[in-house]
Amino acid sequence: MKTAREKKQRAFSRGIRAERLAALVLMLKGFRIVERRYKTRFGEIDLIARRGRLVLIVEVKARHSVEAAMEAVSRTNLQRIEAAADHWLTRQPDYDKLFLRFDLVAVLPRRFPVHIPAAVSFRN
């Protein structure tokens, strides 16, 4: 039986691998990864990617299905991601010219990761 520490380390490693795969998918689509695991006191963003003036704030979820990945993003998660995105954005010299989009990359077992553009909506 695995200890809690071993389970936590395994989950961390799985998350790092998922983020690497997600970054690869985005780079193949022409995006440049500008931040990985961007941490602030407000929250964390898995990936920040940029192509021209379009900036993607990307949440990466390793799950067994796209639906499970989408369901894994909680309201609290979204609030923390939004606060961290605001923090990052205000530190960009060209922030007033940037277009921000919140995407999801679902990393699925034995399949190519699925990039879901504009998967996350903060303000209705």
Task: Provide mean pLDDT across the span 36-55.
Answer: 96
Per-residue buried b or exposed e for 78-96, using 16+ beta carbons within 10 Å of the residue's own CB = bebbbebbebbeeeeeeee
Domains defined for the chain, CATH in brackets: 4-116 (3.40.1350.10)
Strand pairing class (44-51; 54-62): antiparallel
Secondary structure (3-state) at 101:
strand
Distance of alpha carbon 62 from alpha carbon 19, whole angstroms: 9
pLDDT score recorded for residue 2: 79
pLDDT higher than threshold 80 for residue 69 = yes
Distance of alpha carbon 8 from alpha carbon 2, whole angstroms: 10
DSSP-derived secondary structure letter, 14: H
pLDDT score recorded for residue 124: 36
pLDDT higher than threshold 80 for residue 71 = yes
